[in-house]
Amino acid sequence: MKNKNTLLTAALLAGAGLISLQSAQAAEGLQHVTASAKSDYAKTKYPILFTHGMFGFTRVGFDSFGMDYFYQILPDLARNGANAFAAQVSPLESTEVRGEQLLQQVLEIRAITGAPKVNLIGHSHGGPTIRYVAGVRPDVVASLTSIAGPHKGSPVADLVLKAEGTAAEAPLAGAVNLFSKAITWAQGLNPDSYPHDALAGGKSLTLAGAAQFNAKFPLGMPASACTDGKLLDQGVYSYSFAGAGTVTNLLDPDSALKLTSLLIDGGKDNDGLVSRCSAKFGKTVRDDYNWNHLDEVNQVLGLKALFAPDPVDVYRQHASRLKLQGL
């Protein structure tokens, strides 16, 4: 049962239109979302494990009343037959540290379900994180799906890291690490049970940091700039999709991403944090949705452009794609 901290967080979030969900905590941080299935449309052969990006979480609030990072997406998949989980890794850490944390949860899901493999889906920094697992244990991964993963890095990270070595480094890193701990606390988890390293997380997403990671873990990466990678590599299927919008709904606070978008390719072809070319990985399902970086996970609270595809529908359709692929 979650502690008093979680109850306080949930009370603060109650006015934001949050939904009630059925879920079970398989272990600290690992969320298993269940629901009465109304169809088998999204019933994949292997379980699906979602991984959040930087500053991410599984759910803030508590089991019966809270807000998921992948807002309304996992419950919909469960209602359509999927065995859906959400991983909790450090909100701020290097790709390798987050990847090791994720690997342990993959192994736990194998033990819980008896499935030999898992379908991994990662948003933002979750994209490189799931790639790490496939890089060290391809035998336990059926597929990788990256949503707006900064696989070639992001200029936004390079700009932020300019504070390194200056007088601003220590207070800035300390404040950001404290925020990372607060995110963990808001989920009813012990902040000290996860490492928090803002500098390591930021360096992983710089252009140079991404290049170093890609040299170690090339699976699914394109051979040339802004093209698709291999669909099937080392027995692992790889897919990606991304948005290319910034201000998609004036009522949505994530419209502030318009400012960061100007740092990337002159404000063209990016979702506010990641460029279309950087998001390329495996087979591209689509990379021009009218979504910004938060719309891609149906945030904030489902607000999006009026005629943009519903992210919940897109994830359901992708689960069906995995099912038809025998995954």
| Residues labelled as active-site residues | 124, 271, 293
Collapsed DSSP state (helix, strand, coil) of residue 67: strand
For β-strands 141-147 and 236-243, DSSP reports them as: parallel
Provide CB contacts within 8 A for 113, sequence distance 6+.
47, 83
Q: How far apart are CA 86 and CA 202, in angstroms?
A: 23
Q: Is 183 in a helix, a strand, or coil?
A: helix
Q: Record the tokens describing residue 172, joined without a space.
A: 């800035």
3, two tokens: 């502690």
Residue 119's beta-bridge partner residues?
48, 143
Instruction: Quickly tell me which residue has 């990006």 as its tokens.
Output: 53
Q: Which residue has the tokens 């700039």?
A: 225
User: Residues 21, 26, 28, 31: what is their CA dihedral angle, to the nearest 10 degrees?
Assistant: -40
Q: How far is CA 307 from the centre of its chain?
A: 24
Q: Where are the beta strands (DSSP E) in the chain?
A: 23-27, 30-33, 48-51, 59-62, 65-68, 84-87, 118-123, 141-147, 232-233, 236-243, 283-289
